Amino acid sequence: MTARLFGGDLWIRGGHVVGVDEVVREDVLILRGRVQQVGRAVLAPAGCPVLDATGRLVFPGFIDSHVHFREPGLEHKEDLASGSLAAVAGGITSFCEMPNTSPHTDSPERLADKVLRARARSHADFAFFLRATRENADRLGDWENLPGCAGIKVLRGVSGGSLLIPDEASLERVLRSGRRRVAVHSEEGPRLRLREAALAGRTDASVVEHPLVRDVGAAELSTRRLLDLAEKTGRRLHLLHVSTAEEVDLLRDRDLGDLVTAEATPHHLFFAAPGCYERHGTRVQVNPPVRELRHQESLRQAVVDGVITVVGSDHTPHTLEEKALPYPQSPSGIPGVQTTVPLLLTAVRDGWLRLQDLVRLLVVGPVRAFGIEQKGVLLPGHDGDAVVVDPQVTKPLPLDWLRSRAGFSPFVGAPLAGWPIATVVRGKVVYQDHGAADRPEAAPLSFAPAR
Ligand code: DOR
Ligand code: ZN
């Protein structure tokens, strides 16, 4: 376990603490960055700073285990400072960042470089996925426990122009090298290439076709093969951004328990084709695509039932200029790290989630999937990460609230019912009242050694 940096002292007073089972009127005392006491008779030391949470909800700090912050190499889209500022503004206190930066995070040196950068400039605690390639497949077992490593990421499809694990043999080598859970983007590359080739040369292609180009079959075929490989190798997998009812049915039918965990994203839970494309065009173009309503309904039920245990934003910022290119030249991706919490709080208002589900999906789910240590529900001994939320306010998402360099969200204007108003990382208020209050000495997440 890396030496924990000390944080601050803070008495979060007067709120209702949300746990996995209940919502209770309790205070939270954080000393030197760790939760010291949770209850009604908190004994805070004289002079302890106070954060008034009267009439508000107090959640444990939320973890976004799927973001792309684009540093190094793609900083015109986002960087670690701007992406993590958007994170803490949205109540996210820890993130796991993806390796498709430039260069890719595919070696210990490149991992260490990202850790150094984040220590210096991140507003939230962090970890970085290592990208599996044909070349490094046999070394991953040695690298996956390096400081700040969130685990291994495999990209099976073509996404962002790079095809890295095209064949089954390479994929099996990756799964046999190491023991930590492997996060997979599951779309079948060869099928995608054929279907995307059919688009080439057309001048009338429309983004409405995107879910047909990267079709259900590409996702279902890939996921079916991945479940087979997980059973064959015994390697634990995490299916990123499940996008189809067919994959949900596979997960239900195969019932592989902890061998395979699954993630849904807010855009797949809240948008549906074709309406979202007619209204937002390429701003909702993402891989894997948002599909028609039956998929959204199946994904929502899977989240409620616990078939899907993690919500990750898949924050994938591009500039508005890039998104304005004609389809299919327009890049896929939707910024979302700052809007996940208000959206899930809106699901609570709409009645299909409970407040406790946010703790299950954005804290317990990621902690269990990736073996994150020190983070979790508000209990003595855990890091003092917390989010104070005003559940009363329903208002249209304002564009000027967003901190991502992307400068847009397809959710702008949507009436959202629940807003983070103060974010605490290891006892320090890092974001409050629309402003960054402080930047913690951001630290790499600690992970339980792979078993
Ligand atoms: O839509 C996407 N954009 N999906 C991916 O897998 C990659 C991502 C990106 O990095 O832009
Ligand atoms: Zn992603």
290 pLDDT more than 70: yes
How far away, in angstroms, is 91 Cα from ligand 1 center? Answer: 23
Tell me the residue type at 10: L
Mean pLDDT of the chain: 94
Ligand positioned closest to the Cα atom of 64 = 2
How far away, in angstroms, is 352 Cα from ligand 1 center? Answer: 28
Q: Give the per-residue pLDDT at 70.
A: 98
Mutate to test the pocket of ligand 1, among 332, 337, 404 (most ligand atoms within 8 A of CB): 332
How far away, in angstroms, is 65 Cα from ligand 2 center? Answer: 10
DSSP letter for each residue of 9-77: -EEEES-EEE-SS-EEE-EEEEETTEEEEEESS--PPTT--EEE-TTSEEEEPEEEEEE---TTT-TTT
Q: How many residues does the chain have?
A: 451
3 pLDDT more than 50: no
152 pLDDT more than 70: yes
Tell me the residue type at 195: R
CA-to-CA separations, 24 to 18, 91, 182, 355, in angstroms, rounded: 7, 20, 36, 12
Q: Are 30 and 36 in contact (CB under 8 A)?
A: yes
Q: Give the per-residue pLDDT at 2.
A: 44
Q: How far apart are CA 116 and CA 442, in angstroms?
A: 10
Protein residue with least CA distance to atom 4, ligand 1: 287
**What is the edge-to-edge ordering of all strands in the sheet holding 27-31?**
34-39, 27-31, 10-13, 50-52
How far away, in angstroms, is 24 Cα from ligand 2 center? Answer: 35
Q: Give the per-residue pLDDT at 199.
A: 87
Judged by average pLDDT, the poorest of 18-22, 255-259, 291-295, 431-435 is: 431-435
Mutate to test the pocket of ligand 1, among 286, 313, 334 (most ligand atoms within 8 A of CB): 286
- State the first-to-last Cα distance of the chain, in angstroms, to the nearest integer: 15
50 pLDDT more than 60: yes
If pLDDT is split at 50, 70 and 90, which confidence band does 392 have?
confident
If pLDDT is split at 50, 70 and 90, which confidence band does 451 have?
low
This prediction's pTM: 0.97
The more confident residue out of 443 and 436 is: 443
If pLDDT is split at 50, 70 and 90, which confidence band does 1 have?
very low
Q: Are 72 and 103 in contact (CB under 8 A)?
A: yes
How far away, in angstroms, is 286 Cα from ligand 2 center? Answer: 9
Ligand positioned closest to the Cα atom of 69 = 1
**Cβ-based neighbours of 369, under 8 Å, separated by 6 or more:** 65, 181, 238, 261, 309, 310
How far away, in angstroms, is 384 Cα from ligand 2 center? Answer: 28
If pLDDT is split at 50, 70 and 90, which confidence band does 7 have?
confident
Ligand positioned closest to the Cα atom of 74 = 1
**Cβ-based neighbours of 329, under 8 Å, separated by 6 or more:** none
For 241, left (φ over 0), alpha (ψ -120 to 50), or beta?
left
Q: Are 30 and 6 in contact (CB under 8 A)?
A: no
Q: How far apart are CA 16 and CA 388, in angstroms?
A: 9
Protein residue with least CA distance to atom 3, ligand 1: 333
Give the pair of three-digit tokens for residue 27: 């205070």
Q: Which residues line ligand 1 (CB under 6 A)?
A: 68, 100, 159-160, 185, 286-287, 316, 331-333
In the block, residue with structure tokens 């039932």: 305
How far away, in angstroms, is 45 Cα from ligand 1 center? Answer: 47
**Cβ-based neighbours of 35, under 8 Å, separated by 6 or more:** 28, 29, 378, 379, 380, 381, 382, 383, 384
Question: Which ligand 1 atom sits closest to the C-alpha of 286?
Answer: 1
Tell me the residue type at 449: P
CA-to-CA separations, 385 to 4, 37, 314, 353, 449, in angstroms, rounded: 14, 13, 22, 23, 23
Other beta carbons less than 10 A from residue 154's beta carbon: 24
Ligand positioned closest to the Cα atom of 101 = 1
Question: Which ligand 1 atom sits closest to the C-alpha of 318?
Answer: 11
Protein residue with least CA distance to atom 10, ligand 1: 316
